[in-house]
């Protein structure tokens, strides 16, 4: 039976390359001259340290731009609460969203079933498996899910006949 998986994953190597590009760009930009602003990534968590709120916002824009150049959608970045550091400086953690949360997965399954496609959908951990008798039905589901407003980017993998 034909099937495919709906997943939400981030290529860690590409994310790390994007963070390194941000570091290089910060060292060469004039508005960051003399600044102690840094960014680093460890275990899927990006740590941003900026001199003030304005530099933090600029670093967000630079990070999102570099992530998009590397094929990582901005929706996969989960910005945590800003924490004050010494003086006016601020610190912030950015998590990479991976895997589909249970409530989001249930919502997607409910919407697929509501459209009465001739497919079966199963939640398998942090991904969805969609199976059906016909390949055309699976392609219709892919098109339908791409049109849904989901707060995190979804990928379609393991399409098998």
22 is written with which tokens?
């941000």
pLDDT digits (tens, 9 = 90+) for 53-81: 899 999 999 999 999 999 988 888 889 99
Same-domain check for residues 78 and 112: no
Q: Tell me the pLDDT of the chain averaged across its residues.
A: 89
Residue 49 structural domain = 12-96
Domain boundary among 79, 96, 113: 96
Q: CB–CB of 48/84 below 8 Å?
A: no
Same-domain check for residues 119 and 144: yes
Same-domain check for residues 115 and 43: no
Please give the pLDDT value at position 18: 93
150 is written with which tokens?
């989901």
DSSP per position, 46-62: EEEEESSHHHHHHHHHH
CATH number at residue 135: 3.30.70.860
Same-domain check for residues 47 and 85: yes
Q: Taking Cα atoms as reference points, which of 36, 35, 38, 34 lies closest to residue 20?
A: 38
Same-domain check for residues 88 and 57: yes
Same-domain check for residues 63 and 113: no
pTM for this model (two decimals): 0.80
CA pair distance 95, 155, nearest whole angstrom: 18
pLDDT digits (tens, 9 = 90+) for 138-148: 888 999 988 88
């Amino acid at each position: 039976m034909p099937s495919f998986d709906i997943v939400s994953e981030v290529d860690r190597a590409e994310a790390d390359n994007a963070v390194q590009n941000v570091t290089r760009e910060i060292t060469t930009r004039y508005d960051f001259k003399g600044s102690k602003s840094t960014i680093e990534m460890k275990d899927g968590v990006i740590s941003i340290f900026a001199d003030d709120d304005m530099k933090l916002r600029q670093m967000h824009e630079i990070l999102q731009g570099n992530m998009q150049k590397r094929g990582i959608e901005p929706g996969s970045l989960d910005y945590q609460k800003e924490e004050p550091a010494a003086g006016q400086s601020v610190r912030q953690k950015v998590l990479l969203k991976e895997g589909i949360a249970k409530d989001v997965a249930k919502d997607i399954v409910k919407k697929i079933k509501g459209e009465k496609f001739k497919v079966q959908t199963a939640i398998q951990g942090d991904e969805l498996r969609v199976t059906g008798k016909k390949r055309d039905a699976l392609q219709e589901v892919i098109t339908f899910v791409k049109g849904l407003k989901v707060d995190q980017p979804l990928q379609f993998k393991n399409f098998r006949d």
